[in-house]
Amino acid sequence: MLSSKAYQVIARKWRPQTFADVVGQDHVVRTLSNAIARDRIAHAYLLVGPRGTGKTSTARIFAKALNCTDGPKADFDPNDEACISIAEGTHLDVMEIDGASNNGVDQVRDLRETVQYAPAQGKFKIYIIDEVHMLSAQAFNALLKTLEEPPEHVKFVFATTDPQKVLPTIISRCQRFDLKPIPAPLIIERLLKIAADESVKISDSAVKCIARMADGGMRDAQSIFDQMISFCGEEIDEPDVLDVYGLVSAAKLTELGSAVASGNHAKIISLVDECDESGRDLVRLLSDLQEVVREALLDSIAQGGKTTQLEHSLTTEQVTRLLDALREGEGGVKLGLAEKINLEVTLLKAVEASRARAIDSLIKEISMLAEAAPAADEKKKP
């Protein structure tokens, strides 16, 4: 017998419903809350950021704050009837439009006609246009006049992952908010909270692995976590995550970083062979290795020019050259036909790059020695 309540994926079930639920975007939440409290609500907002960082969720929460009962107010009750209807997409005055599928000038002309009508339920008519950069140039131009002088009861909230494709004339008419990738510690904290609520046991190494793979996207992290629950059941450990997504463990990355830092060619080839035979994602391996080397670079800067974080003493110049070589080889590994060979060549080139010396630093050292030589000769004279 089927359950009467349909299953809801974690990303939807744990979608932020209030400003307090939004993770890692305090600057956006604070500005919007203050705008509502001080009655300084603009007519158009542009939310920019990578996928899964909360753009559409923030737009919906803002719509709830504006159209809640006795609103506008930032600390609205999520169980308010108006807020529930906005969350369910049934509120008459909150329209969510997909810019990818409604990108023509005709749809925008229809929108221009409907904005003239007064709100039916709430205080404002709110238009949330997702992926606004997908609108055609003609559609943008048709929107300009309405966006510049909209009726007082109309608010626009645009969301995009690619602001470069949005016309500057549109951007100049909006208040822009840049949502940043969510830091891994905040993703880990939220996943552990979800795990406790869902009665799932997950190891610290596994949750760190998921956060690393999410690249700052909360929705990606929740989707990965959801898939791991389906795969593992109520207990998730790091090897399970590594096997499903083809990742390399943190310990193996440290070992590879050490081999590159020490110039151990045989060890590098052996580790790449091992990762390839076990079905690991070699493109992801290179990306993760760059993060390990970057941490060593930051450590060398903090330590005044040297680091032992890769288990060998390296100068800031050496780590910089190593990281640059890894970055340069990324395109070849991603797009080349022989992924494994390209990765091996990239790592071996990185070893040689880290051992090379910059010509300007050599000239500087020779100049310092030349300046010191006469002084040393003077001391030797009786």
pLDDT in tens, 236-257: 998 889 888 888 888 889 999 9
Query: In terms of pLDDT, which residue wins out, 363 or 135?
Result: 135
Query: In terms of pLDDT, which residue wins out, 66 or 365?
Result: 66
* Model confidence at 49: pLDDT above 50: yes
CATH number assigned to the domain comprising residue 62: 3.40.50.300
Domain that holds residue 286: 250-359
Task: Judge if 143 and 169 occupy the same domain.
Answer: yes
* Model confidence at 3: pLDDT above 60: no
The strand ranges marked E within the chain are 44-48, 94-98, 125-130, 154-160, 175-178, 201-202, 235-236, 306-307, 314-315
Q: Which of 234, 204, 219, 279 is nearest to 14 (CA)?
A: 219
- Residue 380 inside a domain? The answer is no
In which band, very low, low, confident or very high, does the pLDDT at 116 lie, cut at 50, 70 and 90? confident
* Model confidence at 375: pLDDT above 60: no
* Model confidence at 376: pLDDT above 80: no
Structure tokens at 281: 């994602």
Task: Judge if 174 and 207 occupy the same domain.
Answer: no
- Residue 3 inside a domain? The answer is no
What's the confidence (pLDDT) of residue 2? 46
Give, rounded to a whole angstrom, the gap between the first and last alpha carbons of the chain.
105
* Model confidence at 147: pLDDT above 90: no
Q: How far apart are CA 360 and CA 139, in angstroms?
A: 54
The mean pLDDT of the chain is 86
Task: Judge if 28 and 148 occupy the same domain.
Answer: yes
What's the confidence (pLDDT) of residue 33? 93
Query: In terms of pLDDT, which residue wins out, 121 or 285?
Result: 285
* Model confidence at 65: pLDDT above 60: yes
Mean per-residue pLDDT for 93-109? 78
In which band, very low, low, confident or very high, does the pLDDT at 358 lie, cut at 50, 70 and 90? low
Task: Judge if 201 and 123 occupy the same domain.
Answer: no
- For the chain, what is the domain count? 3
Mean per-residue pLDDT for 68-92? 88
Q: CA 18 from chain center: how many Å?
A: 21
Task: Judge if 44 and 140 occupy the same domain.
Answer: yes
Task: Judge if 269 and 205 occupy the same domain.
Answer: no
What's the confidence (pLDDT) of residue 378? 60
Query: In terms of pLDDT, which residue wins out, 143 or 37?
Result: 37
What's the confidence (pLDDT) of residue 265? 92
* Model confidence at 70: pLDDT above 70: yes
